[in-house]
Amino acid sequence: MAKEYLNIINGRHVPARSGRTFENRNPADQDDLVGTFPLSDADDVNDAVEAAKAAYPGWRALPAQRRGDIMRRATELLRERKAELAEVMTREMGKVIKETRGDVQEAIDTGFYAAGESRRLWGTVAPSELPDKMTYVTRQPTGVWGLICPWNFPMAIPSWKLFPCLVCGNTAVIKPATLTPASAHAFVETLHEAGVPAGVANIVCGAGGKVGEALLNHPDIGGISFTGSSEVGRRIAEVAGRALKRCSLELGGKNAQLVLDDADLDLALEGVLWGAFGTTGQRCTATSRLIVEQGVYDRLLEMVVARAAKLKVGNGLDESVEMGPCVSDGQRSTVHGYVEVGKKEGARLALGGDRLSGGDYDRGFFYQPTVFADVRPDMRIAVEEIFGPVLSVIKVRDFKEGIRVLNGTRYGLSSSIYTRDVNRAMKAVELIEAGITYVNAPTIGAECHMPFGGVKDTGNGHREGGWTAYDIFSEPKTVYVDYSGGLQKAQIDNA
């Protein structure tokens, strides 16, 4: 029997006030019902925000190291349950079990990092320009946050947001994606089991148009952290800006791997296969474009097509499967729509290009690994985010043109260059317009202790991950302590 999930508000498991629910089914097998979830609305959000607001004074007063200790205990529980959490995630999201273990591991890594950062919420001490006076900066929490998460990394990305948010002394209401709520729900349950007080971490399930908008517009929400599309991100930035709410946006990508003539082609092949078809291409950092210098274009294209044709596609619970389904029928239709666009634009379909059908494939939302050759840089499939297993291969004359083509989209998240020439590698690092650049590695593979984010339409300047996440969730406070015993007038006294 499928599990019935409830919202977690003020430490209690409660249904949506409306009593309505929605189903979460396995995208590889629609007969597999993962669970039912509350279809919440603004009333439920208001309950959660009230609980978070009430819990905030006590939580912020708890020493940061104590908050970190609770994060550490939660992380130990995640580590103990890694196998079962990964299985649930594969069932609700579809990506292969090796990847969902990695998703949980990223949450584990982020949790241990957060526990350490609780002892490193450092400020700055600087000398005063006046005698018998000291100046320093400390970090302060900012209040109640709304955290809106995507479906492709249903535990890793909530951990990127919740762990630093809570360590900094804030409270939160998290809205998981409707396609993958079970993993985030398990994460919040683990936090409570580890000792997070009631009201500090609340989860409200439901659609973005109801729950997301209610969070965005609630007067007691002081900050929004969102990961998702650039279009939705613009809407969030607009509304948050009018209310002067803090707003952290991690948005789309159209990432490219640039391969030069002197590259190790076997290594470049492994990189592009993992980057393009890992997570069924459903990553904001996925390798959507392969830009190849003309001297090795034909050879590398042949290698990519031959290997991609052999990828085993199926239910991700099978350890031998290399690529799972699209997360939903709607997402698969979007992918197929872009394939049709690519064909109409004149790109050469070198591999795939259709839904997988027959047998077990008919029970899920499977799509063929797809490769387009002879793609022009201005084609829609070369500049728009597809979020599926579709790779566009582009030929360029030289390094200079390769950089120009790589930079020729409105996104700037991740990037990659394969070359044995250290000079050109370092020049690429300088010239590529992206928040992340890999040298001789694919466009995916972020590590939890390093900043994550991008430029242009990929975000609004904030970086999740690493120490930079703690800048998002805390406010600098400058303190002046005058122990001179008299009135000092700063610049006037120095005039």
Look up 250 and say whether it is catalytic: yes
- For 396-432, b/e burial (b = at least 16 CB within 10 A) is beebebbbebbebbebbbbbbbbbeeeebbebbeeeb
Task: Report d(CA 32, CA 90) in Å as an integer.
Answer: 12
Q: Cβ(26)–Cβ(94) under 8 Å?
A: yes
Task: Report d(CA 85, CA 99) in Å as an integer.
Answer: 12
Active site residue: 99, 250, 293, 464, which one?
Answer: 250
Look up 149 and say whether it is catalytic: no
**Cα–Cα nearest to 275, from 304, 242, 245:** 304
Tokens representing 375 are 């793609």
Q: Cβ(14)–Cβ(45) under 8 Å?
A: no
Cα 279 versus chain centre, distance: 13
- 238 contacts: CB under 8 Å, gap ≥ 6: none
- For 47-75, b/e burial (b = at least 16 CB within 10 A) is bbbbbbbebbeebbeeebeebbbbbbbbb
Cα 163 versus chain centre, distance: 14
Q: Cβ(390)–Cβ(370) under 8 Å?
A: yes
- 329 contacts: CB under 8 Å, gap ≥ 6: 365
Tokens representing 111 are 């949790």
Active site residue: 149, 284, 326, 448, which one?
Answer: 284
Compute the Cα dihedral for 228, 232, 238, 243 and give only its sign: negative
SS (H, E, C) 388-436: CCEEEEEEECCHHHHHHHHCCCCEECEEEEECCCHHHHHHHHHHCCCCE
Q: Which residues form the catalytic set?
A: 250, 284
